[in-house]
Amino acid sequence: MTGRLPVLLAGLARRLPPDRLADLLHRLDEVEGPDSPLLDRWSSDHPAAGLAVELSALRQAWREERPLLPGAALALSLASATAAGSAVAPPAELVVSGPTSPAIPVRLTSAIATDVIRSARTSLLIASFAAYDIHEIVGELRGAAARDVRIDLLLEESTSAARAFGPLRKHVRVWHRADRGNRTALHAKVIAADRHTALLGSANLTGRGLERNIEIGVILNDSPTVGRLVDHLRWLTGPEGLLRQV
């Protein structure tokens, strides 16, 4: 098999956790071709950030390069790519706020932040130096709380960032620096969903930061890397960490 299709299959094999990969393999076994509505249903059932874009690209390459290939054959190729394994982590996806350019394909920070929050099934870890004018984000977090997602907000106290999340106070845990007198600041900007996806960048959780300022970030889809990031943030909220719950 040549063309883009093998590359896209290998990318999905690296990215998907075992349970989602198994579900996709089962779905592919059931379809005859790339236009099956069963694939649309699978995509809506697995709303990880950027995953719908990857699946759409795969289906397009399938139509263009191997339109007569049945889904079962594609499932076999995907399973083979998974079994072969790869030491190369999936590339980070670039994200921007403000103007875009034709230099590289990018996605807007505001849309990605929403996608990452929606992809969480068990936990969300969110860190920001400043936060305000984020009604859409607050609404998404309210939806995550309704799904029983555990939400931890690591916020800088000096900017009064916690005020932006006032309507969610009963559904989130807020963390500030334990030592108010030191000269450190909580300056990280992170949205981590479970242990599979994380958005990192220069943008604060503000209306300007997510949409209008010139900001640059990346999405990490590599579960081991995201897991280590989550472990570090959890350590910061632990007994030996630098944050206290308020």
**Across the chain, what does the average pLDDT equal?**
88
Does residue 61 sit within a domain?
A: yes
Does residue 66 sit within a domain?
A: yes
Does residue 88 sit within a domain?
A: no
Does residue 62 sit within a domain?
A: yes
State pLDDT tens for residues 38-63. 999 988 887 766 678 788 989 999 99
Query: By the 8 A CB rule, do 134 and 107 touch?
Result: no
Does residue 179 sit within a domain?
A: yes
Last-in-domain residue among 54, 83, 112: 83
Asked if 42 and 118 sit in the same domain, the reply is no
Asked if 147 and 239 sit in the same domain, the reply is yes
- CA–CA gap between residue 165 and residue 183 (Å, rounded): 25
- pTM, two decimals, is 0.67
Domain count, the chain: 2
Range of the domain at 15: 4-83
State pLDDT tens for residues 158-181. 999 999 999 998 999 999 998 766
pLDDT (mean) for 104-111: 78
Flag whether pLDDT at 120 surpasses 50: yes
Flag whether pLDDT at 87 surpasses 50: no
Does residue 109 sit within a domain?
A: yes
